[in-house]
Each structure stands twice: as C-alpha cells, then as structure tokens.
Amino acid sequence: MSGINPSEMLNAIKIKRAMMIDCANTNGFTSEETIKYSQELDILINEYQKASQHFSRPNEEIKLAFNQMIMVWPKVCV
C-alpha cells in the first residue's frame, strides 16, 4: 500500500472492516472467512500505523474506528 495517501488507506480500512463485520454477522465471528478478513484488516491497520509515522499529525478518524472495533469484538466473548 505504499504510495497511497492517508485518506485512501483509511477508506480501505473502513471497507475491509465493514466486510469483516458483515461476514461475522452472517457466518459467525470464528468462521474462516471472518478470520481472513480480520487478518487482512490487521495488515491494513499495521500499514497505516507505519505510514502514519510520516504523516504530519495523528488522524482522529482512525482513532474512532479503533474505538468502534473495540466495542464490537468484546461481544464475541459474551
């Protein structure tokens, strides 16, 4: 994903996150497809975090996305 601007990276993260949540709601949180999306999302987030070291300021939008994700995943443990 090198060479992609922060907005495009965030958009890719949002899309992958939506795909993962959709899949989890349809197939379950432990389905192979959901786990695949989760791993792909992890990669995108890691790439964004590495690239964000070069951005001029932290992006509040990604913090919101992380907080929303944190609120979704604990429900799996219930």
The reported pLDDT for the residue numbered 55 is 65
Q: Where are the domains of the chain?
A: 6-77
In this structure, how many other beta carbons lie within 10 angstroms of the beta carbon of residue 23? 19
Of 15 and 54, the structure prediction assigns the larger pLDDT to: 15
Select the CATH number that applies to the domain covering 6-77 from these four: 3.30.160, 1.10.1510, 1.10.3470, 4.10.280. 4.10.280
For residue 76, what are the contacts with CB-CB under 8 A and spacing of at least 6? 29
**pLDDT tens for each residue of 9-48:** 999 999 999 999 999 999 999 999 999 999 999 999 999 8
